[in-house]
Amino acid sequence: MARAIDRAVDERISGPILRNTLGGRRDRHAATRRLKHLAQAAGIRMPRMHPHMLRHTFVTTMLDAGVSLRDVQIAARHADPRTTMRYDRARKNLDRHPNYILAEYMASGT
């Protein structure tokens, strides 16, 4: 990944990493078009492909790997932990939710 960033920056010391044809910052529409093009070239067929899917995959993969919710929040640059928790709930994985952990602890009688 560092190599890809180095290639995109091309020894520049300022400005956007990913640029459009005019040298300005690439907007979300250009990013979506590029992602769709790359997915098609890789043989990936999805009806709705967008850059946020990569972010979603990044967050949910970290959660699946057992990374703490706080560390995932920091990595995803979420200001509010509730934003990160939405990704966990979307996975239907409530067993790590604090309420469930507390209920399990109290039910154990310890």
Q: How many CB atoms lie within 10 A of CB 74?
A: 13
Chain centroid to Cα 80, Å, comes to 15
Chain centroid to Cα 102, Å, comes to 28
pLDDT in tens, 47-84: 888 888 888 889 988 988 889 989 999 999 999 988 98
pLDDT at 44 > cutoff 80: yes
